Structures are given as structure tokens and as C-alpha cells.
Structure 1
Amino acid sequence: MTLPSVPLQRAAAQQDLRFAFYGRVSTEDNQDPAASRAWQLRRARGLVEPKGGVIVAEYFDVDKSRSIPWARRPRASALVEALKSPARGFDAVVVGEPHRAFYGNQYSLTFPLFEHFGVPLWVPEVGGPIDPANEAHDMIMGVFGGLSKGERNRIKIRVRSAMAAITATEGRYLGGRPPYGYELVDAGPHPNPAKAAEGKRLRRLVPHPAYSLVVKWIFAQFIGGRGIFDIAEDLTRQGVPSPSAADPTRNRHRVQIAWSKSAVRVIITNPRYTGRQVWNKQRKDEVLLDVDDVALGHTTKLRWNDRDQWVWSERQAHQPLVSVEDFQRAQAVLARRGHGPATHKPHRTRRPYAFRGCLLCGYCDRRMQGNWNNDQAYSRCRFPAEYALANKIAHPKVVYLREAEIIGDIDAWLTTAFSPARIKSTIEAMTEQADDAENTAITQLRKRLATCDQRLSQYRAALNAGADAVHVATWINETEQERARLECELGSVPPSHKVSSHGLEELLNWTGELAHAVVHAHPQDKAQLYTELGLTMTYYPEKKSWKPRWSRLPHVQMVCVRGGT
């Protein structure tokens, strides 16, 4: 029998080569995911099919910026995980457009994985698989990463320059939510012929018939000497809709009845009420997600720009609600209140609170705040009547608790709980509460993971039934991203370190000795012990009682007590 030649063997192997395709599209608003996937896939097939290859798997990220590393893209990270499996189902990976796949130094951080697991990476720019030993291939891919980053930066510069020019010269409304007191109306066709042909139109701000009067009243009251919190309470008392209530879709997570101090402050400091359009009040900064792992890339943070960087329209763009003089007068009043000329004597030391962070209010379950009054430590929960009404909570305006009233009882209870006669019951209570807390967290995470799996099964069934592939792919990507996040949270739950009853008893005996020593200790040392024990206490003012709870088993370390250890 005659054996086939080596070239024929290679050709036969190439004909059986199975490929996984990877592609990416940034946003649905600017690009059509279906069209982008189609041309990237067509380009990939044009590379592999003439050489006998066939694409058997697809990994396509939708609505993911190119600046996001592969580890944080749902489908790209799934492809990397598939590389690790010997039963991956494909022999090589093909990328239809390197500009879409790699950004900056992402190629140099990703390709070593393909090389390690022995999976060739094909790109059209090199006419086939990338050769790890070929310097030209490495240079070409590095250049494409740099070009991709440069293209993104050029787009940002062009867009920002255009928006600044349009704001300054035309005062055009550039989108976003209208300020409280204004509403949007049609302002004619879009000046860009292509966008006008698509039916897009301009919009402009006009005063709201009711809420514009509220804005004028706020400025008049503030300039007249009333405080921000006083104004917010008065508006809530009068039943005036807050910005969240006036626009329920704006902040669905907020209570939409009561006014907050921040809402009044935002209105007072918003220069658009003078009738001029203002842009560039905020900027987007890209900061490292983890300074110890640069490969994870950056995350976007919104930050305020200095006032000298704001871009103002050269003329009035809409009807003003306040004059420029009144607006400047309000800013001067605000500046005097927050940064007056008086000097304040600094505290010598941080005021100590024994119950720092561990005392809860029995009315609203919020943490009580420390408050120093008449040279004594207090804990308080301040809850204005209007907010209590809005949240449907029967809560006094202020709940005060003097630390000295209960600290003796707390110390007595603590030393009793760790006494030899109570060690056994204390062990049982602490173990039960710690296990309940841990099991509840794990159970909730597993339930949410199961829900994600169920949704993925439904989406795949819908895809097989002929549903729109673009929408289903978006749903699948979002669900897989949520599932990966939940798996990370589940993996980050610290394992319960079970301690033998004898060992725990010895530990609590030692802790009991420490508790006796802390009775006469400094409040800061008491707070440290309470924190180490995971102690939280709920104070019920109407009953003049408190309920302790262990949030975890004690992780006791040496605590230096003034006067002893």
C-alpha cells in the first residue's frame, strides 16, 4: 500500500479544520449588530473556507467597547474558557476584524493563551494563522491594536470638539434629561440632511407651566435666607412633586414623594436656569479597575470639571427662569455658608464612640450615627417627619440614645455571656446565627444562578424557534454577564472555618477574660472588641430595650487596652 505524501496529509488535515469565530460590535445605537456580525463573519469565512476550513462555533459580543479587556467581555471570556477544554469542539479561532477584537496591548495579553493551549489564531491581515515566531506577524498585530486605540481617541476628540462648538455658537440642546422646571418641545428638523431623512428632529427647552414656578420660588427663598434643608421640608410638606415624582423614570430607585437636600442644591447650582446652554460640566475618566492587575483594564468614572472648563452658549438658548444676577447671588450665598471666613479649631483627637457602627435603630433598621453633645457620646437617628410619612414609617424626628445609659448593661451582658456557666449556650447561639447568615447568602446566590440558567434555556429555545437573533444574542450576553458576576460573588463567600467545641470553648474563655478587662477600658478599645466579635445591637426606643446579635463567629486578636492587655 502506498502512503500519501506529506503535502497531501497536510491538505487532508486542513480540510477537516474546524473554526470558532469571534467578533464584536460596540453599541446598538451607532451600529446594527446583525449587519456588523454578517460582514465580520463573511470576512472570516472568506479566509478559512478556501483553505478547507469550516466555522462551527460563534462568539460575538454585542454592546461592548473595544477598550474592555477580553476577560470582561462575556463572549470573549467564554471563548477563552473554551480554549482550556480538550473537548472544545474546534481546532482554531478566526477573527474577522482585528480592529474590533484587539485594542491597545490586548493582543499581547491574549495571544499567549492561544499559544499555550495550542489553538491557532487566524486573521485576514496575515492571510492565515499567526506565527508566534514571526516578528512581522507580531508587529502587524501590535500596529492594529495601536490603530484601534488611536481611532477611538480620534472619535472622542472629534465628538467633543463638535459638541463644544455647537453649544457655544448655536446653544443647541444636545440631549439628556431636561432640568426640573423645563420640558422638551419640537424645534424643527435636524440640520444634518442624513439624520433629517431618518426623521430625527431637534428639541428645545421650554418652561413647565407648574414646575418652573417651583424653581423660581426655590431661588427666591434661598436668596432670602432660608436653608436648603428647610426648603426641602417645606416643599415636601406642601405636597409639591419632587424631581423624581415629576419624572418617575428618572430615578426609579428613589422615594418619589419627599424632597431631598441634594435635589434643592442641584437646582440652585444649575446654570441652565439662566437661559444659557451649558456643556462639559462633567467628564468621563478612565481609571484602572485594579491597580494590582493592569490587564483587567479601566472603568469609567464621572467627575465634575472646574467651572472654567464649562462651555457656555454665546447667547440665550431658551427662556430663563432666573436672572444671571440672582443666580450669581445664590452661588455667593451658598459659598458663604459652606466656606465662610471663620476659622475652626481642629479637634485634638477623633472623638471615640464605643458603639461605632454596631447600633441600629429599631424603627427603620438604619445604623445610628455618633453625635457628641455636652461632652458626652450619643447615638442618634435623624428622620424628618416628611420623610417618615413618605416612607410610611412611624418614626420620631430624632431618636437619641446616650452611650452612658446602656454601656454598663452591655458590658455586664458581655461578661455574663462569656462566663463559664454560659459558655455552652453562647457557643450554640453564635454558631447558629453565623451559619444562618452564611447559608442565607449562599442560598440566595444559588437561586439567582438557577434563574439565570433558566433564562438562558428559554432564550436558546426562542432562538431555535426562529426569534430575532440580534435581540436574543443581546439577552444571552446580558444574562451570561450577570451569571459570571454571581459566580464571582459565590466564589468570594468566605468558607466557614469550623472550630471544634473544645477549641471554641478555650477561645471564648480567653475572650471572656478580655471582656472583663475591657469593662473599664477606653471607648475606642470597646468598639474594637465589639467589631471583632461581630456584635450588632438593635435599640428599641419605645421599649427602652436593645437586642444583641452575633453576625459571625469571633475572629479574636490581641487588643491593646490602655492599662493592660
Structure 2
Amino acid sequence: MTLPSMPLSPAAAPEGLRFAFYGRVSTEDNQDPAASRAWQLRRASGLVDPKGGTIVAEFFDVDKSRSIPWARRPQASALIEALKNPARDFDAVVVGEPHRAFYGNQYSLTFPLFEHFRVPLWVPEVGGAIDPANEAHDMIMGVFGGLSKGERNRIKIRVRSAMAAITATEGRYLGGRPPYGYELVDAGPHPNPAKAADGKRLRRLVPHPAYSLVVKWIFAQFIGGRGFFDIAEELTREGVPSPSAADPARNKHRIQVAWSKSAVRVIITNPRYTGRQVWNKQRKDEVLLDVNDVALGHTTKLRWNDRDQWVWSEQQAHEPLVSVADFERAQSTLASRGHGPTTHKPHRTRRPYAFRGCLHCGYCERRMQGNWINDQAYYRCRFPAEYALANKTVHPKLVYLREAVIIEDIDAWLVTAFSPARIETTIEAVTAQASRTGNPAATGLRKQVAACEQRLNQYRAALNAGADAVQVAAWINETEQERARLKGALDAIPADQAITNDGLAELLHQTGELAHAVVHAHPDDKADLYRKLGLKMTYYPQKKLVEARVSLTSTYADGLCPRSE
């Protein structure tokens, strides 16, 4: 669609105007970022150079979908921050291609910032700067946002329709990680002549000489009545490599130890073991990142489709490992489990666990689970020996702790720790800790940001190793959104945020009142009060010791609670 350029006022292009260029490219459709930047920059220069302008700064987002709002694009958000700086080194902003910059209603949400900071926005489609008072300019930019959204939707429809047709009629392998039990072999040149000329080849699935037998064994055992956990334990005990360990190059982002119940379940429910190619088992839904702030845009969520929406190949595409009849028997067995009549009597009341979610195992650092024995509350950590061996962890099969053994000592410690006589000592400890570690909230956020960056590096390594690009891209997008949210929360914390001694005394006084309330609370209410206190405990069976810690927003208290057998 070509729209006429709108005339500008003579004052719109003063001599020597300095410009910041903004562009964006998404590599989802195999675009070349360097080439895309070059032609967008060339188009922007062709607009400003004849009018005496000069591009002095560049903001170019790579591998960012147009559907992502400006606030969540790294370079676009950096440009917005630069607008706020009165000492910025540019006078105006030029966009080489509005289709790449704005999507849907992004223009109407972004342009008010340019207008507020009095920074002109130039686009080739209007022949210069956008006039805020010109309704035609506003209409043109709105139309381009709609066209950009429509173009993206049309591409999605074409790609999905083509993949469905290729799956149904040809049974072609469409990429991604091969299922456990199969490996990839060459299947000849690509049917597209241009891609074939570039050396691209088709691939197909063939049974792995060893792991295909494991898949057949798993189906036979499950149909015979064994459960996921039982099968997983035996496979780990016999030293059979798990799916992650069998293909470590494609699974660098996974823990490649032992078999899990979920790995067995994935095998049992995968219809590709019948020899048919299956596509569209999952879909990508775009959901609002924050329902209270629509301007933040959407995030992509992978969700399972109903079985009647799956696309099956009309003919067998590769050698089957199980028959269709056995596969259907496995699905029927899976669907029937857990839905039969029960002989368990319902509990009259919910069994209370005072330390629900607060108590951790000192061996593996996992939360201990509540367990009711002989009308008493216990906490246990169950860790099969096979998993301990695979994870190189020394861990008893079962770790038990009776609630009654420690609850009185914990309550007494809480009351003592926040007693008025210890207020000054606690303030000194908190102040010393704050001087060593800085703002605890900021420290926690920095650790979470670092964890996100570590996950991103792992995902990119998995992508380079040949992992499923669609799946990894979804993980990367989710992690980048989480990192952006954490960075926003971190930036919102004032650098000089501090709490006075009077404020600490007031906070500790309130905490002491809560600690006293715990002692006299009903057992059903203790768990909520412990949670409000931020109580976290770690049980070390080998030392017969429970380490207790209270973590509040601005302070904490540490201590050890001894226990005896």
C-alpha cells in the first residue's frame, strides 16, 4: 500500500539537525541483521541527508519480534531513556521502516513520549517529521501499525498451513529434537531447488540400535501394569542413559542424570513411535503480560492442543517402534489410572502442619513434605537411592523429623530473638550485615537477574547445538521478559535507600509482637504466622540440628535451634 507524502512546514527541517536512527530486525524468518540494518539505515539517510540532517546515533534491535512493545525492546527502551536526557546528543529521531518499528497500537502509545520531550519523529512515509496536529499523519501511522500486525498474522497463517500440508501429505521431518529411540539420517536434497542449491538436505528418523529397544521395553512394562516411577527407578538402577544423557549435545540446558517420571510419560504419550509424523501437538498463545497494564504487551505461552487438532501423516513416515494398537492401549491405561473407585475415607478435617513450606532438608535443600503418623505431624524427605547415586549425593532414602520435637524450641527462640532486651543487639547485627551486603532487596534482585542471564546463555548454547528453535525461542523470550521485569524492579529501588535505627526498632517491635502471637496461636494458624515472619528452617540429621532463620524485608535474625533424639 502506497500513501502520498504529506508536506511539512519550512521550520520542520533546520540545517544541521542531528538524528538518532532506530531500526529493528527479527531473525525468526532467517533475515540477515547486517543487511536489514543497512537498507533501513540507507532509507533513513535518504530522508534526512537532502535536508541537511546527520545521523549521529543508532538504536537497532536484533532478534526482537515487532509484537514486543518498545518498553521491552532493549534498544527501543534505551532510546526512550535517551529522550528523557536534556543533554542528549541528537535533536530528532528517524525511522527507516515504520512496519519494523511499530505494530498494532504501539505508535499511539509511543509517540506521546516524543511529543512530550519535544523530539521530532521522522518517517519516510510522511516525507519528514510527523506533525502532532496533523490528523492525516496520525491516520497514516495508525494504518501502518495495522498493516504490520496484519502482515505478521498472514505470515503465521501461511507457515502453519504449509507445515500442516507437508506433515499430512509427505510426512516430512520438520525439525527439532528427535524423539528418544530415534536418530536422524540424511534423506536426500531439499525439494526446494534454491535451498538444494545452497546444500540444504532433508532428514528422516530411523530407530537407534540401542535406545529403540528401551522404548519398546517401556511400552511393554507400562501396558503390563507398571507405573512411571517404577519404570524410571529400574532404568536408572540398570544404568540406562536418560533422554538427556543419550543426546547431551542437544540437551545442554537439562540435568543429564537419572530418569524421571515425566521422561517416561513423554515417551508413553508420544504418537510418533507409531511411525506417523505428528504436528500441531502444541500451540503458541499470546497472553497479556499484565492484565492491569495492557501497554506492556503480550508474552508467548506454549499450550497443548486437543488430540483432535493434531495433524497426522497419511502414511507411515518412519519405522514404528510400537504398533498403533499398543499405543492406544497405553493411552487407555493412562486415562483410566486415578479415576477408579477409592476405598480411602475422607479426612474429617485438614491435618495441620505448623511448618508447612518452612522446613528444608539439609542433604538436598528440598522442602520436606508433611506426613501424619500415629496422630502426630512429621516431615519427611524421600530421595530414592538410585537418584542419589546418579546425582552423586549422599542422601538417606528417608529423612524424618517429628514436629513436636522442635516446635517449642522454635517458639522460645523466636520470642527471645525479638525480646525488648535484644532490640539494640539485633539492630547492631542488622546494620553490620547491611554494610557488608548492601540493600538486601537489591541483592536478591541482582541474583535473580544473574540467574536469568545464565539461563539465556544455556538456551543460546542449546540453540547452537541444534535444539528445537521454536521451543528454545519461547524459553528465551520468557526469560528475557522476566529479566526485564527484574531489572525494572531493581532500577526502582533508590540507590540511597536505607532504614534508620528508629525504623529498625519499630520493625523489630512489630516482629516481636508477631512472634509472641505465634506461641499462643492455634495449630491451624501457626503456619500462616510462620510464613509472615519469613521463617525458614534447615534440618541436618547428621548433626541433629535445625538451623532457623527469619527473613523480613529490611532485617533478619539468625540462630540455631538444637534438638535431641
Q: For 1:227 and 1:447, how far apart are their aligned partners in 2?
A: 39
- 2:420 and 2:509 in contact (8 A); partners too: no
1:278 is aligned to 278
Range with greater deviation from structure 2 (524-533 or 142-151): 524-533
SS in structure 2 of the partner of residue 285 of structure 1: strand
Q: Equivalent residue for 2:517?
A: 514
237-246 or 431-440, which moves further after superposition?
A: 431-440
Deviations 1:413-444 (A, max 9, x none): 33444456555555555666677676566458
1:223/1:329 contact within 8 Å kept: yes
Paired with 1:257 and 1:29, the residues of 2 have a C-alpha distance of 35
RMSD of aligned C-alpha atoms? 3.0
Are the equivalent residues in 1 in contact too, given 2:369–2:381 (CA < 8 A)? Answer: yes
Equivalence for 1:37: 37
Q: Which amino acid aligns with 2:517?
A: L
Aligned residue number for residue 259 of structure 1: 259
What is the letter of the counterpart of residue 139 of structure 1? M
**Partner residue, 1:303:** 303
Query: Separation in 1 of the partners of 2:515 and 2:523?
Result: 18
| Structure 2 residues without counterparts, runs of 5 or longer | 1-8, 453-479, 557-565
CA contact (8 A) 2:382 2:399 kept: yes
Aligned residue in 2 for 1:3: none
CA distance in 2 between counterparts of 1:79 and 1:530 reads 46
Q: 1:29 to 1:502 in 2, by over 3 A?
A: closer
Partner of 1:120: 120
2:327 corresponds to: 327
Amino acid across the alignment from 2:290: D
SS of aligned partner of 2:337: helix
Write the distance in 2 (CA, Å) between the matches of 1:44 and 1:13.
14
Q: Name the larger-Rg structure.
A: 1
Measure, in 2, the Cα distance between the counterparts of 1:187 and 1:243: 24
| TM-score, length of structure 2 as denominator length | 0.84
Who is 1:549 aligned against? 549
Residue 49 of structure 1 aligns to a residue whose secondary structure is helix
Q: Answer whether contact 1:359 1:367 (CA < 8 A) is retained.
A: yes
CA 1:291–1:438 in structure 2 vs 1: closer, same or farther (change >3 Å)?
Answer: farther
For residue 290 of structure 1, what is the aligned residue in structure 2? 290
* Residues 211-220 or 437-446, more deviating: 437-446
Give the whole-Å Cα distance in 1 for the aligned partners of 2:505 and 2:41: 65
CA apart distance, 1:205: 0.2
Offset at 1:539? 1.2
Opposite residue 91 of structure 2, the aligned amino acid is: D
TM-score w.r.t. the length of structure 1 is 0.84
Aligned-residue offset at 1:504: 5.5
Alpha carbons of 1:377 and 1:512: their partners in 2 closer, same or farther (altered >3 Å)? closer
Please report how far the alpha carbon of residue 512 of structure 1 lies from its aligned counterpart in structure 2 after TM superposition.
Answer: 5.5
Alignment of 1:534 onto 2:537: no
Cα distance, 1:333 vs structure 2: 1.3
Task: Deviation per CA, 1:365-400: give whole Å up to 9, x if none.
Answer: 222122234443221111111111122211111212
Asked if 2 retains the 8 angstrom alpha-carbon contact of 1:419 and 1:512, the reply is: no
Distance, in Å, in 1 between the alignment partners of 2:391 and 2:312 is: 40
Q: How does 1:45-194 map to 2 (within 5 A)?
A: 45-194=45-194
Identity %, equivalent residues: 81
Tell me the SS of whatever aligns to 1:185.
Answer: strand
CA distance in 2, matches of 1:345, 1:123: 71
Q: 1:436 to 1:525 in 2, by over 3 A?
A: farther
Correspondence for 1:397? 397
Cα distance between partner residues in 1 of 2:554 and 2:485: 29
Partner residue in 1 for 2:20: 20
Moved more, 81-90 or 178-187: 81-90
Partners in 1 of 2:218 and 2:102 — Cα distance?
Answer: 51
* Shift in CA distance, 191/529, structure 1 to aligned 2, threshold 3 Å: same
Quote the Cα distance in structure 2 between the aligned partners of 1:348 and 1:492.
48
Deviates more, 1:107-116 or 1:498-507: 498-507
Q: 1:269 Cα deviation (Å)?
A: 0.6
**What SS is found at the alignment partner of 1:15?**
coil
Shift of 1:553: 6.4
Change (3 A) 1:506 1:255: closer
Counting only pairs closer than 5 Å after superposition, residues 180-219 of structure 1 correspond to structure 2 as 180-219=180-219
SS of alignment partner, residue 249 of structure 1: helix
Number of corresponding residues: 517
Aligned to 1:523: 523
1:179-212 CA deviation, whole Å, 9 max, x = no partner? Answer: 0000000101111111111111110000001110
- 8 Å CA contact 1:533–1:554 kept in 2: the answer is no
Q: What is the aligned partner in structure 1 of residue 244 from structure 2? A: 244
Distance in 2, matches of 1:411 and 1:12, equals 73
